[in-house]
Structure 1
Amino acid sequence: MERDRHAHVLSDTSNEAARHYERALDALLFFRGEVADEAQAMVTASPDSAMAHVFAAYLGLLGTEEKEAAAARQSFRAFRDSADLAGLSPREKMHAAAAEAWLDGDMLRAGDILGEISTGFPRDALALAVGHQIDFFTGDAQRLRDRIGGALSAWDGDDPHSGPLLGMYAFGLEEAGHYDHAEEIGLRAVERHPRDVWGIHAVVHTYEMRGLFDQGIRYLDARTGDWADGNYLSVHNAWHYALYALEAGSIERVLGVYDNTLHNEASQAIAMELLDASALLWRLLLADIDVESRWAALAQAWAGREAGAYYAFNDVHAVMAYAGAGRLSDAERLVKDREQWLARTDPAVSNHAMTREVGIPVCRALIAYRQRQYSRVVELLAPIRYRLNSFGGSHAQRDAIQRTLVEAAIRSGRHDLARTLLSERINLRPICPYNWRARARLADRLGDTAQAAAARDRAERQSAVGAAAWG
């Protein structure tokens, strides 16, 4: 009977398939492209291996792509219907149950089962990695932190997989607000494995959330060879670089990152990259920076996917692109399609609540913002601003929506709300040129020229620190 490197049983799995499993797991932990080939090679080598089919199912789900998930569902069910699962080990049975729950649309249940696996088998790196991503997709910051933290004490520091686990833990710490500790742990992870792009990503987030964008620029510049190609996270880390450049006031660099990396003629129309492109252009739209030609190409890329309801976070970014490009009929059509989907879909599907409670209100707010119906934006976003996390993403990603509310409050004359929102933001994150520029614009509307000048001066001084990172 084969076992993985941590002595977990791999039923009906040949030695060759077990080797593919280990290589696939390594590639998954480091976001390398060969993960799909290695997982398929495992299935080919041992077509009766439950863990081979479980791994393949997880891969079909992790991209948050409706069509890939549908194909994975069909393949896994064919295996399940033809296999005798009674002889599997308890861990393997739980993995099969987790995969099936997620394939059926119940992400939360899948995350719970994977948590049970991690409690009983804390050195199951696959359960930890997939569960970590589910926590990210559902915006559960505490679990994003504690799922990994709860298993770490069972790991030997010399284990090759302990490094990427530290990178995961760093990201969980950051999303839960432990920024200094997250930076420390993330740097340790990257010191062990310089190409641990999730660890790099965690460190980058800590700089973003503390407004240390000059350090973020220097860090990413120094490690360009480790993150900028050969992995699934290169576009997303480039997006973070563009956010730093935006805070530093270098629009030329922002657009350079967009054109060279985020979206161009060679880009693939996959959700995880398109949403970064949408989120960056939307921030520029909020700043009244015209990028019309880019919006048109991006909106066409979203439209060409012909994707149905699967993950509300993706829908919101598709609507950003449609609204930004002025394709408001396409944006409205997507919203109506999702409303019809809600009416015929089992509420047990995790995306049902995400779409109903957050996705549709945000989509409608984006459309209203493009129509300059700023009071309507406030009506839609203000009631859900503390629940935006429930449709997934990170604090940095969701900040595009929070900024939309700030802008709408200022532009609609809701000055008390705008003051409150900016007070929250500035006291939480005092180093953020956007916050101070927004405060200056609010002061202008209130006729307080002294406060406007002081806020603008502070924004410019902060931007200059970031700009100095380029020398």
Structure 2
Amino acid sequence: MTDRYGNAITCTCADTAQGIDDFIHGFLSYTTKAVNILHAAEADPGCCLAQTYAGMIWMFLEAPEAPGRAEAFITRAEALAGQVTDREAALVRLTRLWAQGDIPALLDQGESLARRHPRDLALIKLLQYHHFNRGDAPAMLRTGLIALPESAAEPYVHGMIAFGYEQCHLLDQAEASARRAMKIEPADPWAHHALAHVMLTQGRVDEGIAFLEQVAPTWVDLNSFMHSHNWWHLALFYLSRGRHDDVRAAYDTHVWGLAKDYSQDQVGAASLLARMELAGVDVGDRWGDLADHVAARGADTVQPFLTMQYLYALARAGRAEADALMQAVEARAHGTAFDAEVWAHVALPACRGLLAHARCDFETCVAQLGQALPRMAETGGSHAQRDLFEQIHLDALMQTGRLAQAQQVLELRRSFDPDGVAVNGALAGVYRKVGLDALAAEAEARRKFG
């Protein structure tokens, strides 16, 4: 038998094969049918690939318990690996490496495997995911391009490539790839996402609002991450235009509440709440509900990019669990894992700075978060997501009266948000304080509401 992209699979049951295709297509399209592989794996314990993909589904939980939840499936797959194709056996090994936390080996072996099987689009997507979490944008692009020319007719290939281009700051190529994906499949949410990144970076705010509002109805049946994350992007455009009611509505209806226990939904909510506050939006008691769910994670240090935002959410809500998580970060920074340097030299000072900001210790925030910012990409996340940390540091600069530094940062920010309400409002305040009233008036005049 073969999967939907023509890769040979060792499978004798049509229902299992359908579960495998549901995982592959659901993974690429961000639809909920990807989890159908769990039922297929339980129903057919003799199918190695079904067990492997079920193990992967649990690893995407991005939580300390994920390897434990995946273990039974990986163990079953390993017992069957001698009876399947070389590609399937290699996928078993990659899943084991993931569960063991050996991401460098996974990426090295995985890219070699993808070059031998360029139609294995789920593998290529998996490699992009891990490169993204390490902040390696060129590797994201290189990996996506492996699928060409064999899979040029597949929309999700171009969506993956578009995001790789965007993270490499190759915005024209990113937009072309995203539009090529949408020409094949207009509802491709990852292509929507890549184009939203381009428009945000280029300050195309009104165009971004119109585009995302037009395609938003196609996100209804997506998994919680993709639905909430694309709405998160739309909310950023609303923030630029000072549409505070629309931002709150987007948060309450689409960004928070779909899957409150999921990592990506939690950090998306934390990031948006923080940005809302920094832009002068009243968020009411929303931090409390978010922190209740983040606290249930315990001392989660699975990924630095996620942990930093868990910590900020806990601290902003005044939760004692913030101190326990900070202690876990300190311990992780003294570990021996492949990413120990990132934890020690980037995540640790960043967490100290974020905790300080949440507790109004702005001097410490300037010093600690400022130390981490130049290397923040190594913690993972996209440019747009990591911009949160730049904004928090900027706020600390202004809170401590470092107006000269704040002016420099704000004018650079205006280059990609030229008539943004918040950035120009902040500039106007800085210019008044430093005695440049004419520039303050110009900044006020640039603010574009609506």
Match of 1:381 in 2: 369
| C-alpha distance in structure 2 between counterparts of 1:112 and 1:356, whole Å | 24
Match among 61, 67, 71 for residue 65 of structure 2: 67
Change in CA separation of 1:147 and 1:76 when aligned onto 2, cut-off 3 Å: same
| C-alpha distance in structure 2 between counterparts of 1:287 and 1:217, whole Å | 18
Match of 1:173 in 2: 165
Match of 2:353 in 1: 365
Match of 1:135 in 2: 131
| C-alpha distance in structure 1 between counterparts of 2:61 and 2:241, whole Å | 32
Tell me whether 9-18 or 52-61 shows the greater mean CA deviation: 9-18
Secondary structure (helix, strand or coil) at the match of 2:318 reads: coil
| C-alpha distance in structure 1 between counterparts of 2:219 and 2:5, whole Å | 28
TM-score w.r.t. structure 1 length? 0.88
Is the 8 Å Cα contact of residues 27 and 33 (structure 1) preserved in structure 2? Answer: yes
Secondary structure (helix, strand or coil) at the match of 2:357 reads: helix
1:162-241 equivalent positions in 2, closer than 5 A: 162-232=154-224, 233-241=226-234
Match of 1:18 in 2: 17
Match of 2:337 in 1: 347
Identity of aligned residues (%): 26
Tell me whether 314-323 or 247-256 shows the greater mean CA deviation: 314-323
1:12-161 equivalent positions in 2, closer than 5 A: 14-37=13-36, 39-80=37-78, 83=79, 85-157=81-153
Match of 1:331 in 2: 322
RMSD after superposition:
2.3
Secondary structure (helix, strand or coil) at the match of 1:359 reads: helix
Larger RCO: Structure 1 or Structure 2 (Cα < 8 Å, ≥ 6 residues apart)? Answer: 1
| C-alpha distance in structure 1 between counterparts of 2:80 and 2:359, whole Å | 57
1:447, distance to aligned residue in structure 2 (A): 2.0
Name structure 2 gaps, 5 residues minimum. none
Change in CA separation of 1:121 and 1:278 when aligned onto 2, cut-off 3 Å: same
Is the 8 Å Cα contact of residues 132 and 147 (structure 1) preserved in structure 2? Answer: yes
1:131, distance to aligned residue in structure 2 (A): 1.1
Change in CA separation of 1:207 and 1:374 when aligned onto 2, cut-off 3 Å: same
1:312-327 equivalent positions in 2, closer than 5 A: 312-327=304-319
1:182, distance to aligned residue in structure 2 (A): 1.6
Change in CA separation of 1:444 and 1:112 when aligned onto 2, cut-off 3 Å: farther
Change in CA separation of 1:212 and 1:333 when aligned onto 2, cut-off 3 Å: same
Match of 1:261 in 2: 254
Change in CA separation of 1:287 and 1:3 when aligned onto 2, cut-off 3 Å: closer
| C-alpha distance in structure 2 between counterparts of 1:378 and 1:164, whole Å | 41
Change in CA separation of 1:19 and 1:221 when aligned onto 2, cut-off 3 Å: same
Secondary structure (helix, strand or coil) at the match of 2:45 reads: coil
Match of 1:395 in 2: 383
Secondary structure (helix, strand or coil) at the match of 1:393 reads: coil
1:141, distance to aligned residue in structure 2 (A): 1.4
Count of aligned pairs between the two proteins: 449
Secondary structure (helix, strand or coil) at the match of 1:309 reads: coil
Deviations 1:283-341 (A, max 9, x none): 122234432411111111211333532122221111221222233x3222210123234
Match among 287, 296, 299 for residue 291 of structure 2: 299
Is the 8 Å Cα contact of residues 205 and 240 (structure 2) preserved in structure 1? Answer: yes
Equivalent residue letter for 2:382: S
| C-alpha distance in structure 2 between counterparts of 1:97 and 1:357, whole Å | 31
Is the 8 Å Cα contact of residues 242 and 422 (structure 2) preserved in structure 1? Answer: no
Name structure 1 gaps, 5 residues minimum. none
| C-alpha distance in structure 1 between counterparts of 2:331 and 2:387, whole Å | 28
Deviations 1:438-469 (A, max 9, x none): 333322332221222212222x1xx33xx2xx
